[in-house]
Structure 1
Amino acid sequence: MGSLKQIGTVEEVSEIVCLIRGLPHASMDEEVIFESGAKGMVLRLDEDYVYAVLLSRENTVIRGAEVICSGEALSVPVGDSLLGRVVNPLGEPVDGKSILSNTKNMPIERIAPSIFQRQPITKQLETGITLIDAMMPLGKGQRETIIGDPKSGKSNSVYTAVINLARMGIISVYVTIGKPQAKTKAFVEKLRKEGVLDKVVIVMGTASMSPTMNFVAPYAGMTIAEHFLYQGKDVLIIFDDLSQHAKYYRQMSLLLKRSPGREAYPGDVFFVHSRLLERAAVLNKDLGGGSITALPIIEIQERDLTGYVPTNVLSITDGHMLYDIGLFNQNVIPSIALELSVSRLGGKVQCPIIKKLGNAISQQLMYYRAAQAFAHFGTDLATETKQRIERGKRIIEFLKQEPYEAIKLTHQMVMLHGLNIGVFDTVRLDKVKELRKQISAFLQEDERWKAFTESLSDKKPDDVKDEFKTLFDILSEKFINACNIVEATKTEGEENQASGEMVAQKPNGRKEQKIEAAKLKEVRKKDEQAKKQQEKANKKGLFSKFKKNGYEGSPAVPAAGSIAIPDGYDEVIKDEKIRYIPKDQTAVEGKPVPEGFDLIKNESGSYLIRKEPTK
């Protein structure tokens, strides 16, 4: 071991922290090896002592044991052989497969590329998630925070992006920090089932590992990603999640007797994350032009963005996507709250068509939410407002995507164009998902339109107007018309009683459909008016006809309400007859029958009716 520089002695052991004397030339992040074979990392330097944290949770170090300073920073193996493997934060395989080969060790801490080694972010990273690609676009080399409450769908979006990018040949490094091992294994099995595991590296830090191992995990993952970066490749790295990472660092810092600050975090917690995320970049052409796109995940409680760690990470990154637990519970997936999310790059990385459509759909959603809030007051809405609400509902349905369901960016353009011009306004909501799959399959299988959609990224909106019109004529004939709403209604007026029922047949075009809907609306309006008039007449006790007992058209019959109601009775109408029901049966028993009335008795009690007129 020619690289060994110094030998010291353990003076004190406290959980995962060791106080060491005799290493005067030790440096921060340097690897130390204890007499028992355990490894540690230097994290604090004092005048007479060195503080090192153990990497293993099992503490086999005792007081008085010798410790060797390696003279090298903690490092992990990197290489192409890590693709398709699951490793721990030290780069050791934990998937039960063979040991790694053709690798070299690189330090977990590296200086971020300088401004002269970078180039502007100009290319879009296609996640396959329409809501993100169209309205919250990611650029290759960008850093975007994914933030939200627990169980709000953050990881599901990440999984979908990883699978979609792997199909496109883009490498992903997925780093877990303090996560359940079973959840990570389930994701690995999904990758294997989809046949894309060979494009992903999993760095697994679990809750059963020591705080030090979980603290090291994101730096190890970034070092592995940098290996592919300097090969000129595009890489996506996900840190799941940095809020948990900060908690592990806080635990270590308190054990190292560092002064606590806000929320008991040490003062350098900002630097811990900034030096990590600054390593994401787009290299210039001289260095290969590769990129690392970083997606740090932050977990919050009840949409509180004001916490110490969330505000730190938000200030470091180029934007954030807020996942709303309320939307998730409404089955709106991905549950991104657009009004509270932002991307500092936006349309700079998008092609002209998706940029224009994304802005238009965002505007439509804004109108929809405003109209929906107004509709809650129960007031009558204008026709235009109703149309916005109906279109907004269909936009929401089209933007919903199940976990692992990815849609090509060019297919997104076609569907977003249809939403923007209102082609899908009459589509049944429960048919939206099926229709979306049918359109995607058609665009993928039809040679003519497959070539057309693949060329959309290089064209401007005005260049494809005629082609879009022709395409949607075909799609309407094949799929859309079959998913349109067919209204059927049965009225209760006299016209319906004579004719049986009225059914609105499916119109051939949108104009005919509007005319038919207007007719149905008018019929319903007349029926409603007739009901109100009948109810009003009933309340006043008036009849236009008496069909029984010779009352029909007889002028001798006084109208209901013209004779004074006897004391202690209520006037009611039943079976087209006026009856006077005692308010209290016991109060009227034994009393004489009022003049002009007959007393009727039955099992349920007694009541009065007017005497029949003399014919």
Structure 2
Amino acid sequence: MSKTDSLAAVTPPQPHVGLHSAGQFEAWRERLLAMPAPKPVITEVGKVTEVGGGVAIVTGLARALADELLVFECGVHGIVLDLEPGRLGVILLGPSEFITLGEDVRRTRKVVSVPVGPALLGRVVDAMGHPRDGLGPIEAIAETPIEAEAPGILSRSAIFKPLATGLKAIDAAVPVGLGQRELIIGDRQTGKTSIAIDTILNQARSEVTCVYCAIGQRGDAVSRVIAALKKGDMMVRSIVMSAGDEETPGLAYIAPYSAMAMAEYFSDQGQDVLVIFDDLTHHARSYRELSLLLRRPPGREAFPGDIFYVHARLLERAGQFTQEAGGGSITALPVVETQAENLSAYIPTNLISITDGQIYLSPRLVRRNQFPAVDLGLSVSRVGGKAQSRTLREVAGNLRVTLSQFEELEDFARFGTRLDDTTRARLTRGAAVRTALRQAERDPMPAAEQLAVLIAAMEGLFDALPEEQLSDAISRIRATPRKRFQFIGERISENKELSKEDRDRIIIAARTALSATRSDQTSYTDGGSYGPDA
């Protein structure tokens, strides 16, 4: 039946004189009675009995489900977190000031979902996927729930491809692989976010898509991250999600799950994705705040008993997946903050046990102006050399041993003990290698340049060089692979070892660069061509 016929069937004839008879009216009445009765629509309506602090207590919705999305009369959304007889504990995804006692609450029969698709690349969004950059609406392909079951063992494959961070200290001694979960841990102001951002910037040399999730960060800090990504031409391949500290704790709680859902879309398309969670300490505190407001029983450090599961079900969704499961990968770099170098605190130990290794940033190295402040003694990658190219693995194999021996001798030498020539040589070599691992922010280094610098350091070419000349010497050595040794990049891309002839050629080129550095320094000191009067 067409729309016109349907309207005619239910619209009675108008009683104009001489146009319609009683028979026509009876025929209309019979058609109306023959039509099926519309199905009744049942709408469940609850009431707000308590509200405040980012949570609300709702009654009257006995059929509501866990994690279901509710809509308050004022337009604010909430998620059912607690199911108790006669009451629901709801975390709010908007300001609680807009909600009044006795306000109506309705079910949506849906869970929290976020938009996914390529249209999100280059955008800044909130935890619900709404744009925050003023560039208009996002034309998403679909919406997907933020909670998803982690892929099983049969959907995963071994981690074998490296994810280059561009940082010598990490790529050489603590390699990260595609699909790995590597924790970045350290005290405040030790450079945790800088390592994460440099890793994203280094993906300009790869095809990895990046998602940066800022949890509880200040607005100016997120703005600096966005500016760095734009300057490094990585914003067009990145998604920035921000759940600031001024927003409701419910948004901070769902933010990492929303970021992971967006990453899973690209992974299902066979792409490699890097996800940064900065940081999960704020996420745990937000969940603790919500749990205490909902009167859940507190445990250690007042965290609820399921805090381990909160992070485990998030990070277990990362991994390297088989071709049957899409063939993509999700690499997770969660950030966690420690206090006074206490690695045995509750949240840090939880995350250390969940992840596949940790990069520990030491305040002691920060005080020595050693950046990045990676403590190789406490940092570990449980994937190890499987996610490292053979070229770099061969050169960096003795790096950790050299530095550990140097630190032990350095502590011993502080007592003023007389040292023999061999011990002094080891101290000099160790100090030069540690200084060679220094690297400026926002300057990720290609693997070929890292290789040349590490070979020069391990061969002792920096031993007799003053520290103030080392930066210029490293710059000259970094330029050497770009100019003369394209074969280094080929060896790395083909995952082949360097031959003795290749290694000798790199050492000769490094000596030449260092000779140029010394001659320039001498010319400047003597008032030569680089002197003040030039």
**Normalised TM-score (structure 2):** 0.87
How far did 1:364 drift?
Answer: 1.3
Aligned with 1:28: secondary structure? coil
Match status 1:398 vs 2:425: no
C-alpha distance in 1 between matches for 2:316 and 2:183: 13
Paired residue for 2:286?
A: 248
Match status 1:306 vs 2:344: yes
- Checking the alignment, whether the CA contact within 8 Å between 1:6 and 1:70 is kept in structure 2 is no
Aligned with 2:261: secondary structure? helix
Aligned with 1:156: secondary structure? helix
Paired residue for 1:509?
A: none
Match status 1:456 vs 2:514: no
How far did 1:345 drift?
Answer: 1.1
The amino acid across from 1:417 in the alignment is I
Among 186, 196, 206, the alignment partner of 2:224 is 186
Paired residue for 2:188?
A: 150
Paired residue for 1:94?
A: 132
C-alpha distance in 2 between matches for 1:74 and 1:3: 23
- Checking the alignment, whether the CA contact within 8 Å between 2:211 and 2:240 is kept in structure 1 is yes
Residues 295-345 of structure 1: CA distance to partner in whole angstroms, max 9, x if unpaired?
111111110011111111111111111111121121100111111122111
C-alpha distance in 1 between matches for 2:379 and 2:177: 16
Q: 1:119 to 1:76 in 2, by over 3 A?
A: same
Q: 1:4 to 1:35 in 2, by over 3 A?
A: farther
C-alpha distance in 1 between matches for 2:312 and 2:450: 34
Among 497, 507, 511, the alignment partner of 1:476 is 511
Q: Where does structure 1 lack aligned partners over 5 or more consecutive residues?
A: 489-615
The amino acid across from 1:340 in the alignment is L
- Checking the alignment, whether the CA contact within 8 Å between 1:3 and 1:71 is kept in structure 2 is no
Match status 1:384 vs 2:422: yes
1:190-589 matches, cutoff 5 A: 190-446=228-484, 449-458=485-494, 460-461=496-497, 463-477=498-512, 479-484=513-518
The amino acid across from 1:173 in the alignment is V
Q: 1:4 to 1:175 in 2, by over 3 A?
A: farther
The amino acid across from 1:175 in the alignment is C
Q: 1:453 to 1:208 in 2, by over 3 A?
A: same
C-alpha distance in 2 between matches for 1:379 and 1:163: 46
The amino acid across from 2:509 in the alignment is I
C-alpha distance in 1 between matches for 2:178 and 2:190: 25
Match status 1:32 vs 2:70: yes
Q: Where does structure 2 lack aligned partners over 5 or more consecutive residues?
A: 1-39, 523-534
Structure number, greater radius of gyration: 1
Residues 464-497 of structure 1: CA distance to partner in whole angstroms, max 9, x if unpaired?
21122123223322x1123359999xxxxxxxxx
Residues 221-246 of structure 1: CA distance to partner in whole angstroms, max 9, x if unpaired?
11111111111111111111111111
C-alpha distance in 2 between matches for 1:3 and 1:421: 79
- Checking the alignment, whether the CA contact within 8 Å between 2:126 and 2:132 is kept in structure 1 is yes
The percentage of counterpart residues that share the same residue type is: 36
- Checking the alignment, whether the CA contact within 8 Å between 2:55 and 2:96 is kept in structure 1 is no
How far did 1:96 drift?
Answer: 1.3
C-alpha distance in 2 between matches for 1:456 and 1:165: 16
Q: 1:263 to 1:452 in 2, by over 3 A?
A: closer
- Checking the alignment, whether the CA contact within 8 Å between 2:180 and 2:330 is kept in structure 1 is yes
C-alpha distance in 2 between matches for 1:413 and 1:379: 36
The amino acid across from 1:450 in the alignment is Q
C-alpha distance in 2 between matches for 1:398 and 1:280: 33
Residues 552-606 of structure 1: CA distance to partner in whole angstroms, max 9, x if unpaired?
xxxxxxxxxxxxxxxxxxxxxxxxxxxxxxxxxxxxxxxxxxxxxxxxxxxxxxx
How far did 1:450 drift?
Answer: 1.3
Aligned with 1:51: secondary structure? strand
- Checking the alignment, whether the CA contact within 8 Å between 1:353 and 1:456 is kept in structure 2 is yes
Q: 1:415 to 1:28 in 2, by over 3 A?
A: same
C-alpha distance in 2 between matches for 1:318 and 1:128: 20
C-alpha distance in 1 between matches for 2:344 and 2:488: 47
Aligned with 1:59: secondary structure? helix
- Checking the alignment, whether the CA contact within 8 Å between 2:68 and 2:108 is kept in structure 1 is yes
Aligned with 2:166: secondary structure? coil
How far did 1:58 drift?
Answer: 4.2
Higher relative contact order (CA 8 A, sep 6+): 2
Paired residue for 2:9?
A: none
How far did 1:174 drift?
Answer: 0.7
Q: 1:360 to 1:21 in 2, by over 3 A?
A: same
Residues 66-116 of structure 1: CA distance to partner in whole angstroms, max 9, x if unpaired?
111111111111111111111010111111111101331111111111111
